[in-house]
Chain A
Amino acid sequence: MSKASEIDIVSVSKIYGNTTAVHAISLKIPAGSYCCLLGPSGCGKSSTLRMIAGHESISLGDVRLGNTVVTDFPPAKRGTAMMFQSYALFPHLDLVDNVAFSLKMKGVEKAERRAKALDMLKLMQMEAYANRRPAQLSGGQQQRVALARALITDPEALLLDEPLSALDPFLKIRMRAELKKLQKTLGITFVHVTHSQEEAMALADLVVVMNDGRIEQAAPPREVFERPATAFVARFMGDHNVLTGRAVSSAEGKVVMEVPEGLTFAVHGDPQEPGAPVDLGIRTDRVRIEPASAPGLGFNGIVSNIEYRGASVKITVIGAGSDDFTVIVGDSSFYAKPVAVGDAVSLSWAEEDVILLGRVTA
């Protein structure tokens, strides 16, 4: 079954006139993996996907699919299939003809292509609607038809451009599970563009965080979450506080940095030039409201906001050069020792919960 191909992107750039949308990115997507391109809008993730698909010309660099360099191939010759953001189903055709479209273009006999399309619709559990038009379907049903249409070409890789963004939150979660299941069954490579961290974490084997046309980090979701490579990734994934300052000294695998306010913090990491800019990442759910046990592992701040979130409470603190230092505490421990807006609090964390964030070398 598995005829998946590895996708190899070799220093690919996309240049529109004077602006560069994608800066010479390189990425290997292993065969049969689920890869999520994640980033804020305008970060180049869609351009990257469209360059893999062949809907956008590649300004510089090459894309290899399996053993073939597909850089100059038209979309249909690449062995990829794309699923569009709004599904792009043909409104004038019924579902069978929509799914059979690519076979019709290849000149497959009508009876044969309709039979194949019907099989594909069956796989997607949409055969009951075979003679309807796309406008008569709900968002989730349209997505299944779009999937059927993309998969009928028997692609080696399926490219999905924000496939879940048109669905309501409830359906989003259900279709997400279906996508993952489908990818496991088919065993082909999925490349999925999204701006939702949650979606990427839930689906991906490989999360590629992009910003400003560059890859900030490409790693399994757990690594992206636990060890964000850069300050951008830490902020974008949203579960780390980032403190920015300059290195003061490095010794015994420990770096001491100083924020502009004069406080110093310690972190494990490679030695840094004194005076070099340094970012620290501190897990929001590991920060405790208590005085630091050792120097450089905490600070005092003022509570500026408290949000109740059910199982947890989110406390925003001003201090150490950050005006939105976030602390997530469990609801029981919060109500055992509540704080109020305006209170001065001592925050601290363990040595293993703070990491040294790298910087993108452009």
Chain B
Amino acid sequence: MSTVLTPETTEPAPARTRGFRMPEAAIAWLQAAPLALILGFFFLLPILTIAIVSFWDYDFAGLYPDFMTLNYVETLGSWVTWKTYLNTLKYTAMVWGLTLAIGFWVAYFLAFHVRTTTMQMVLFLVCTVPFLTSNIIRMISWIPVLGRNGLVNSTLVDMGIIPVPIEWLLYSDFAVVLAMVHLNTLFMVTPIFNTLMRIDKSLIEAARDAGATSWQILWNVIIPLAKPGMAIGSIFVVTLVMADFSTVQVMSGGQSASVALMMKNQMSLLQYPAAAANAVVLLIIVLLMVAAILRVVDIRKEL
């Protein structure tokens, strides 16, 4: 038996007595430290600060540490808040529905109709090209297209299809939703594409063998198997749209409000505690929405 022992197996014993050796627990803490520090400083601390500030008092000149619920009472008791929340939820629902529909079809096309892997990758990269510019620039570039004398209106008027320019193209809910869909569809495409690529092609053949039509295959096989990807994409889109303020401000021309825009306005008036209270409420609502998505779809197998 002793002949089996190699030098490697006998060496650690003297090494242990010679050098300094940390206790097991310390090593474990040390290994967890980098992530814990990053999450602590950049995630927990800011949230904690917001939560604390939301209970403070304020006036036009400064913030006063306090513990009062007035900020919440004002936020939740105001009808403007409720209307703004409803408006934001309306945007979220519309953008979610549209990005899900468009994102699924784009991903479906890429995964099942593009035959070569090279072409799939090329087309997928083409989808990401718009992301090479900033959000604001992509948003602003809609203005010359949709404006009163923009591309769409002047073309339609010149062709004689409409007598006067359409007013609701820009600075309207339509413009907001259009820009949001444009900005966020890729967040839907990517996870759905990922799940679709993992579907075993023989499942589709098996379904066809069982007499399923293309629509039946889509409905009974592909969509159920794509649900985790749809859920992940939905989480991205919902959280991004719920927290959006720039798109709403630019594309509605200041005529519509969103929760984040309301917070931004409060902050520009130095009403930090009110904005913080609003942020806490928004955070809770978004977390509830994410929880609802996760309840419907089990995404664990995707992670």
Asked whether A88 lies within 8 Å of B211 as measured between CB atoms, the reply is no
Residues of A within 8 Å of B212, CB to CB, are: 76, 101-102, 105
14 sample A-B contacts, Cβ–Cβ < 8 Å, listed by A number: A53-B209, A55-B208, A76-B211, A84-B205, A85-B202, A90-B203, A90-B207, A101-B210, A101-B220, A102-B209, A102-B210, A106-B211, A149-B210, A153-B211
Within 8 Å by CB of B216, from A77, A84, A105, lies A105
* B221 sits at the interface (CB 8 A): yes
Which chain A residues in 68-124 approach chain B with CB under 8 Å? 74-77, 81-82, 84-86, 88-92, 101-102, 104-106
**Cα distance, A176 to B19, chains bound together (Å):** 61
* B290 sits at the interface (CB 8 A): no
Asked whether A101 lies within 8 Å of B207 as measured between CB atoms, the reply is yes
* B224 sits at the interface (CB 8 A): yes
Asked whether B207 lies within 8 Å of A86 as measured between CB atoms, the reply is no
Asked whether B208 lies within 8 Å of A84 as measured between CB atoms, the reply is no
* Size bracket, chain A contacts: 20 to 34
Known contacts A101-B220, A104-B220; is-contact A75 B208 (Cβ 8 Å): yes
Residues of B within 8 Å of A75, CB to CB, are: 205, 208-209, 211
**Cα distance, A105 to B224, chains bound together (Å):** 15
**Cα distance, A356 to B203, chains bound together (Å):** 46
> Shortest CB–CB separation between residue B200 and chain A, in angstroms?
6
17 further A-B pairs in the complex, CB-CB below 8 A; given A105-B207, A105-B216:
A82-B206, A84-B206, A85-B202, A86-B200, A88-B202, A88-B203, A88-B205, A91-B203, A91-B225, A92-B224, A92-B225, A101-B220, A102-B211, A104-B220, A105-B211, A149-B206, A149-B210
Interface of B is mostly: helix
Residues of A within 8 Å of B216, CB to CB, are: 105
Chain B 193-232, CB-CB to A under 8 Å as 1, else 0, gives 0000000101101111111110010001100110000000
Residues of A within 8 Å of B213, CB to CB, are: 105
> Shortest CB–CB separation between residue B117 and chain A, in angstroms?
17
**Cα distance, A55 to B207, chains bound together (Å):** 11
Within 8 Å by CB of A55, from B200, B205, B220, B221, lies B205
**Cα distance, A91 to B203, chains bound together (Å):** 9
**Cα distance, A153 to B224, chains bound together (Å):** 23
Residues of B within 8 Å of A74, CB to CB, are: 208
Residues of A within 8 Å of B225, CB to CB, are: 91-92
**Cα distance, A53 to B208, chains bound together (Å):** 11
Within 8 Å by CB of A86, from B202, B210, B224, lies B202
Asked whether A105 lies within 8 Å of B210 as measured between CB atoms, the reply is yes
Residues of A within 8 Å of B210, CB to CB, are: 76, 101-102, 105, 149, 153
**Chain A residue, CB-CB nearest to B224:** A92
Q: Can you list the 6 inter-chain pairs with the closest CB atoms, starting with the nearest?
A: A76-B211, A102-B210, A88-B206, A88-B202, A105-B212, A92-B224
Residues of A within 8 Å of B224, CB to CB, are: 92
Chain A 215-233, CB-CB to B under 8 Å as 1, else 0, gives 0000000000000000000
**Chain A residue, CB-CB nearest to B212:** A105
**Cα distance, A88 to B212, chains bound together (Å):** 15
Residues of B within 8 Å of A88, CB to CB, are: 200, 202-203, 205-206
Asked whether A90 lies within 8 Å of B202 as measured between CB atoms, the reply is no
Asked whether A81 lies within 8 Å of B209 as measured between CB atoms, the reply is yes
> Shortest CB–CB separation between residue B228 and chain A, in angstroms?
10
**Chain B residue, CB-CB nearest to A103:** B210
**Cα distance, A81 to B216, chains bound together (Å):** 18
Residues of A within 8 Å of B220, CB to CB, are: 101, 104-105
Residues of B within 8 Å of A104, CB to CB, are: 220
